[in-house]
Amino acid sequence: MENRSWSVRLGEISTLIYLIFPVIGIFGEKRGPEFLYITVLTIFTISYLLMVLVYNKLATNILYALLVLHYLGII
């Protein structure tokens, strides 16, 4: 895994703007418990931040597991 510059990392972190949609879901009409919404948002955010910030230090298997976790949060 190659090192990435701070500007690349900043660009990747700036994509967190799409997390606004799950946050809006917390305040809108709910089809389930609020705790579930907050849990999914937390897992979604943490997995994404770990993939961006500690990309070079993660083993490939852990990186893939975080990627799967991140996209399960979307579903």
Return the pLDDT at 74. Answer: 62
Interatomic CA distance for residues 51 and 63, integer angstroms: 7
Return the pLDDT at 8. Answer: 66
Return the pLDDT at 33. Answer: 84
What global pTM score does this model have? 0.54
Where the chain has pLDDT below 50, the residues are: 1
Return the pLDDT at 12. Answer: 67
In degrees and rounded to multiples of 5, residue 54 shows phi and psi of -120, 35
